[in-house]
Amino acid sequence: MKGVDYERLLARKLSKLGFAVVRAPSSGSGTRIERPDIIAGRKGLILAIEVKTTSRKKIYVGEEGLKRLIRFSEKFGATPYIAVKFKGSGYDWFFIPPQHFRKGGRMYSISLEEASKIGIRPELLAARRLMDFS
């Protein structure tokens, strides 16, 4: 599967969880316009999401991509997340705030072990936010 296929899978998952979802084709380096891969909203919670997948035990994000996500989120009033899928790990998606990625040169990274400890599952993200409104 390609990156776009994972974006579509995550968009469908968020939709099933009750989020309104927009996937932005040609996001990231394919355009000069700052926009994330997915924008999702539910009951006042707005998410700007970059989607990353890997078969390794560590995932890397470029510095400029991270900065674009943060800038877009600030302008839009969204909460930025990197949605990470460690393929073949047995884990589903982890939503990780950008500040949890560690800088190493021009790249930022997070390990599977770290992501499993601090990452938020999409179902929990939706449930927590609903509890905030009750």
Q: Which residues are catalytic?
A: 27
The H or E element that residue 54 is part of is strand 45-54
- Residues shown for the chain: 134
- In 3D space, the residue among 124, 111, 131 whose CA is nearest the CA of residue 56 turns out to be 111
Question: Which backbone phi and psi does 65 adopt, to 5 degrees?
Answer: -60, -40
| Joined tokens for residue 125 | 């993200």
Query: Cα–Cα distance between 130 and 76 in angstroms, integer?
Result: 21
Cα end-to-end distance, the chain, whole Å: 39
| Joined tokens for residue 13 | 């998952």
